[in-house]
Structure 1
Amino acid sequence: MGSKQRLLLLVVVVVIVVVVVVVVVVVVVVVVVVVVVMVVVVVVVVVIIIIAVVVVVVVVVVVVVVVVVVVVVVVVVVLVVVVVVVVVVVVVLA
């Protein structure tokens, strides 16, 4: 009977060790997967934010360039009109 009890105890210990090892491995794998997923999500969010910032900067630059061009065109048109009016007045008065 003694050897059968020892064998049974050995089997129980081996089963407990195997179960503990399997549980630890599963927990480690789950934690690693969760961490990897979180890192991927953070990287994707950062990339999206960077793209959004670049798009906003490009839009702002385009708007500023358009406004500057419009202002320059308006100033040039006003100056041309003023010069034409001055020339017409000088020619008429001469």
Structure 2
Amino acid sequence: MPHASFLAWQHIPQFLPEPWLQQHFDVPAHLHPILRHALPVHLVQMLSGGTQRLSAHRLYLTWNTAMALPTRHAGKPPKQASPTGSSPA
């Protein structure tokens, strides 16, 4: 009989192993260093709830490190500069 298993935030490493990244995330290789740091914070937050600050603390990352990680912007695409170089009105 198969046993039930589950993933808890305690199972997430501080830095995502490269094989995990290659296996589960289809992203360009130049993003791997950023994602190896950012994804664990987000995974811990998804599994345990709370804030990114709390998730970073659980991973023994300083808040300054967590603040440097990329975050999602509520589904809004990033602003693009206009072709003339001035900001859009």
TM-score by length of 2: 0.20
Larger Rg: 1
Higher helix share: 1
